[in-house]
Amino acid sequence: MSARVRRSWLVVPMSKSEEIVRASRSTADVIVLDLVEFVAEEDKPAARERVEAAIRTAQAGGAEVFAQVDPELLVADLLACAWPGLTGVIVSQLESAQQVADVDGLLAELEAKRGILPGTLEIVAALETARGNHAAYDIGRASPRIRGLTLGRADLIMDLRPEPSGEIHLMPYLMQRLIAVARALGVTPLGAWWRAPARGLLAGPDDTYHAARRGRAIGFTGSLCIDVNQVEPLNRGFTPDDAEAAAATELMTAYRAGVARGVALVEQGDRLVDRGAAAQARALLDRAAACEARAREKAEMAARPPLVRP
């Protein structure tokens, strides 16, 4: 089974209802209804009240909907979020397998109570602290609901600052570690390879595209973002481009011709193509097709008239 195409995860603070409508028109693959990072503490009770309705609004453009919840405010946040229509939750600053078990248990209760198919609500674990990253492997396998790992805002939460090279200190190590752990567990690593100074909140479309493109090169498949203008560059950066797809098609053609001749090692220009190279090209083409299908799906959803509720 190929994983869902989730390249852009647009985070929308639940304190700003007007932004949810904008987000629904943004072509984001996923909209993340945030109750953690961008909602002032005193606004949280009101923000929680808005989630149930926001799930429907956010879905209008064909996006999947996640909610971002705080492990210290778990019960209140999950009660506010776990409604039909929600795909899953991003749990901020996860630090232990026990916390994952707590989330899992609460989600199971809410699924039973609210008519949601058991076991369908997903978890993305945001490993934003050193303790969380240290325990990454145990956290990642603590529940079958876990589908993704991300460093989230680790650079800010761990106070990792730019080096003279422009790399954010420790991030190359943390990214590679997270990707290796995620792949070992068969879950999706989420993130982009940001560089100073244009990262996160301040990154314009170009910097966002390059962060996504570099991110795809080291194994990420999608990333969180906070600005609607970052959605398109993420979608583009995480989608194989036409030149890549053409090169992969050519490679596959050469390889198939070789296999038909009875050889498994085929010369293509000055490259040698074997089963591994062909499998990689195949994966890229599958991914490109999945991205295209996702774009169609979103367009159809957006064109559909709004549901009239009785």
Partner 1 sequence: MAAHQVRRSGLTMPVVTRRFVDHAWRRGCDFINLDLEDSVPQHLKAHARGLIKDAIPVVRKGGAEAFTRINHDYVHADLEAIVWPGLSKVNYPKAESAEEIRLLDDVITRLERERGIRPGTVEIGANIETATGVAAAYDIALASPRVKEFGGGTGYDMSRDLGVEMFVGFEQFAYGKGELELAARALGLQVRAAPFVANTTGSVSDADRALREAQAARKCGFRLGGGLNPAVVEPQNRGFTPTAEEVEDARWVLERHRELAGTGDTWIVIDGRVIDRYEAARARDTLEWAALCTERDREKAEAVLRTRAAMAEPTPPTLA
Asked if 39 interacts with partner 1 (CB under 8 A), we say yes
The Cα 278–Cα 193 span in angstroms is 27
User: Which residue number, 229 or 280, has a Cβ lying nearer to partner 1?
Assistant: 229
Specify whether the CB–CB gap between 231 and 225 falls below 8 A: yes
Question: Among residues 86 and 168, whose Cβ is nearest to partner 1?
Answer: 168
Shortest Cβ 74–partner 1 spacing (Å): 20
- 183 lies in the site for partner 1, by CB under 8 A: no
State in angstroms the smallest separation of the CB of 220 from partner 1: 18
Judged by CB under 8 A, the chain residues 200 through 259 that form the site for partner 1 are: 200-202
In the complex, the smallest distance separating the C-beta of residue 191 from partner 1, rounded to whole angstroms, is 16
Q: Does the protein bind partner 1 through residue 134 (CB under 8 A)?
A: yes
Pair of tokens at residue 146: 């876990």
Which residue in the set 79, 97, 108, 130 belongs to the binding site for partner 1 (CB under 8 A)? 130
Nearest distance from residue 235's CB to partner 1, in Å? Answer: 24
Residues that bind partner 1 (CB under 8 A): 13, 15, 37-40, 42-43, 129-131, 133-134, 156-165, 167, 169-170, 172-174, 177, 200-202
